[in-house]
Amino acid sequence: MIEDKKSDRRYKKKRRLKGYWKFLAIYSGVLAGLIVIGLIWVYGLLGAYEKGMPDVAMDNIIRTQFSSENIDNLVNQNAGEISPYEDVDNVRKYLENTVNGNLTFARKSGEYTNDSPVYLVKSDDKNIAKVSLKETGKNRRGFSVWAVDAVTFGEFLGKDNAITITAPSDAVVTINGKQAGEDIIREQGVPVEIAKNVGDYVKVPCNNVYRIEGLMAEPEITAVLNGRQLELKKDESADGTYTAAYPSDDELLAGQSDNIKNINIEYGKYIINKGSLTRLKSYMTGNAKKYVSDIPAVWAFLWGKNYTYEFKSNEISNFVKYSDDCFSCDVHFDLYVNWNTGDKTYDTNLSYVFVKQSGKWYLADFAIK
């Protein structure tokens, strides 16, 4: 009888424990479910909060909209002023050259606010665009939804996208087919250096210097002088610097070649005391005639010596015609002198400018190079 009672107590205790563990398992399951639901809710809340942050929205915009496949949409969104010398095709060309770089973004100092976020977009650390965001509503969690309000290209590019053009003052300069206006002339009537002193005889040839900033793409530039398109040279050592040079004239060069070379010979002979100053001056006018008497001579070095001489070379280069009565050129000659105890070659380089008077060409000025 006693054993039966003990057995009954053990059985009841076992049932109570079994019920407890069952309750605990159910409770734990419910609790775990609630925790999972809570985590999902919190995760969703954090995700919604994150998506409601302007920086996150901007990151998504960079990844999805700033791509070569989306260029036309970006072009259509441009809210900035395009230079008068560019059009939408230049914007498209600009974007094609930039969106494939390493794109990043940063808040634009002075313009960014929590209510109106503004960002600078960079390609390989160079500013390429400004993006303004606007709030378009709230998500299910009550956080802001952001979208592009405006994309601006060009207006803030500044000196990084500037060009400088030097061209003859009387030339018609065009940029992307549009004639350059006086508003972009930075220097007007700058005398050509070698010809700056010929004003007593002819019109001084001058250049204008044009400068334009904020261009999105390298422009097409032309310069036409008296119906002739000028050669355009880009300075590879200075970004965005172009020069439209005064033209050459093969016919005029052919007609004046002997005259120029004769001056070289008379000049060379004079400095070694084998020529005539009077004859040399007969080729000259103005400053050239005044300065020629002060040319450093070497004849004193050869005084008392017997010597011979020979022109090893006599060359003309960089022939430039400014007008029908003015041109310039560079000359080079090697004058070889031999005396009893030695010899020497005088490597001589000069720049000449000629003017036409009474139908005849005279050397008006020169510079020793």
For residue 42, the model assigns a pLDDT of 45
| Class of the CATH-defined domain 250-368 | alpha beta
For residue 30, the model assigns a pLDDT of 57
337: enclosing H helix or E strand: strand 326-339
Q: Which of 138-142, 282-286, 303-307, 322-326 has the lowest mean pLDDT?
A: 138-142
Of residues 184 and 126, more confidently modeled: 184
Q: What is the mean pLDDT of residues 218-241?
A: 91
Q: What is the mean pLDDT of residues 38-50?
A: 48
- What CA–CA distance (Å, rounded) separates 318 from 350? 11
**pLDDT classification of 142: cutoffs 50, 70, 90:** low
Which residue is it, tokens 């003017």? 355
For residue 50, the model assigns a pLDDT of 57
Q: Which of 167-171, 214-218, 271-275 has the lowest mean pLDDT?
A: 214-218
- What CA–CA distance (Å, rounded) separates 71 from 99? 9
Q: Please say whether the beta carbons of 212 and 158 come within 8 A.
A: no
229, β-bridge pairs: 224
**pLDDT classification of 41: cutoffs 50, 70, 90:** very low
Of residues 336 and 275, more confidently modeled: 336
Which residue is it, tokens 């020793």? 368
For residue 23, the model assigns a pLDDT of 54
pLDDT per residue over 81-92, tens digit each? 778 898 888 878
List all residues 6 or more positions away from 321 whose beta carbon is below 8 Å from its beta carbon: 246, 247, 248, 249, 252, 327
Indicate the domain borders of the chain. Answer: 72-156, 159-244, 250-368
- What CA–CA distance (Å, rounded) separates 188 from 201? 21
How many residues does the structure list for the chain? Answer: 369
Of residues 178 and 66, more confidently modeled: 178
pLDDT per residue over 173-224, tens digit each? 999 999 999 999 999 999 999 999 999 999 999 999 999 987 888 889 999 9
CA-nearest of 160, 162, 136 to 149 is 136
For residue 299, the model assigns a pLDDT of 55
For residue 15, the model assigns a pLDDT of 54
For residue 3, the model assigns a pLDDT of 53
For residue 321, the model assigns a pLDDT of 98
Inform me whether the pLDDT recorded for 48 exceeds 50.
no
**pLDDT classification of 123: cutoffs 50, 70, 90:** confident
Helical packing angle, 54-65 and 2-51, nearest 10°: 70
**pLDDT classification of 66: cutoffs 50, 70, 90:** confident
Q: What is the mean pLDDT of residues 272-285?
A: 92
Query: Sign of the C-alpha dihedral, residues 270, 273, 279, 282?
Result: positive
Query: Sign of the C-alpha dihedral, residues 19, 20, 21, 24?
Result: positive
